[in-house]
Amino acid sequence: MNNSRKRTIPSSTSSQSLDPALLLPPSLTSATTSSLSDAAAANEETTLWSQICADLNALDTARRTAESKVSKCNGFNQKLEERGERVNNKVVLKLMEKYDGCVREASEEEKILEQLRERLQLLIALRTATETGLDTKRKKRGEKPKLGSPMVKRAKSDDAESTLLQKGDQVAVKPISSDWLLAIVLRYIDEKKKYEVEDAEDDEERPGTRKKYIFPAKMVIPIPKDVNRRPEFEAGHEVLAQYPASSCFYKATVVLPPSKNPHTAPGIAGMYIIKFEDDGDIERTVEPRMVLDMPRMTKLTKS
């Protein structure tokens, strides 16, 4: 190895110890003392914020560990240059081990950052929906909102919709730290623009009971009742599909839409043929109702 070609890994500036728990937004604290109908939503936001705080602490720890490894790696490089020794296989292996350690720590930081970004996006969506509901409550009767604001556009869209989901409608939702799952609408909370939904399956830990969740309307994906009114997803389209014999939805890619499915056997004819991500490149059939367009938020977190 030519010593002149060695590179020094830049070390990031050391950061002070984080105490993210002190950053808890006052709105989250006040939300927990609101009416009982808001308790589930407030609890979801608070739980999510606690996870974000834990991620921030984990990120700080990972960064400090990475900086320590980078410092040791740079020190080892510097000693080699100062000694002017010939690099042998033993030294090369030691160098590779140190560089691999730096790469592992960088990957861990990246993983934590990606998780942080996803959770922050969820929290922003939840808070936006909550604040919109609060602002709607505070408006005087007959007061017209200013034109052109995003909140007004959202409210107009909600008011104009004649297709609000009804009790018993099937939807896909994604609880915190969970897969997308099939749920049933229990009610619509108009003042907060949120839905209360119930898991379509019993709780594994408490048989006979089902978990309930509250989600902003824009985070609830309706399961279409009539797929004939919806255009087909073409081959190669990224979708969210129900995994066969389960109530969970996963990212998948369309291989063949129903109109191009050549099979005529019962259970296969008229179905989507798709490949699920991380499923061994196996082609599976899914009924059209349970094949949904990939949510925009999921696309963003993968970019």
Residue range 138-193, pLDDT digits in tens:
333 233 333 333 333 333 333 334 479 999 999 999 998 789 999 999 999 988 88
Q: How many domains does the chain have?
A: 3
Per-residue pLDDT band at 11 (split at 50, 70, 90)? very low
Looking at the domain assignment, is residue 147 inside a domain? no
| 125 and 176 share one domain | no
Taking Cα atoms as reference points, which of 150, 164, 162, 151 lies closest to residue 194?
164
- Tell me the residue length of the chain: 303
CA 49, CA 56: separation in Å to the nearest integer?
A: 10
| 19 and 103 share one domain | yes
What is the tens place of the pLDDT at every residue in 196-237?
999 999 988 888 899 999 999 989 999 998 888 889 999 999
pTM for this entry: 0.49
| 185 and 78 share one domain | no
| 170 and 239 share one domain | no
* Residues ≥6 apart with Cβ < 8 Å to 51: 119, 176, 177
Tell me which residue has tokens 């990475």: 66
Within 13 Å, how many C-alpha atoms sit on residue 93's CB side? Answer: 3
Looking at the domain assignment, is residue 149 inside a domain? no
Q: Of 106, 138, 170, which residue constitutes the final position of a domain?
A: 138
Looking at the domain assignment, is residue 143 inside a domain? no
Looking at the domain assignment, is residue 145 inside a domain? no
Taking Cα atoms as reference points, which of 107, 79, 285, 124 lies closest to residue 219?
124
SS3 annotation, 80-136:
HHHHCCCCCHHHHHHHHHHHHHHHHHHHHHHHHHHHHHHHHHHHHHHHHHHHHHHHH
| 241 and 208 share one domain | no
Q: Of 194, 222, 250, which residue constitutes the final position of a domain?
A: 222
| 61 and 107 share one domain | yes
Q: Of 198, 222, 246, which residue constitutes the final position of a domain?
A: 222
Per-residue pLDDT band at 133 (split at 50, 70, 90)? very low
| 205 and 255 share one domain | no
**CA-angle at 214, arms to 212 and 216, nearest 5°:** 155
In this structure, what CATH number is given to the domain that contains residue 217?
2.30.30.140
| 161 and 277 share one domain | no
Looking at the domain assignment, is residue 69 inside a domain? yes
Expressed as residue numbers, the domain containing 76 is: 3-138
Tell me which residue has tokens 């899914």: 286
Looking at the domain assignment, is residue 108 inside a domain? yes
Asked if pLDDT for residue 96 goes beyond 70, the answer is yes
Structure token digits, residue 85: 């020794």
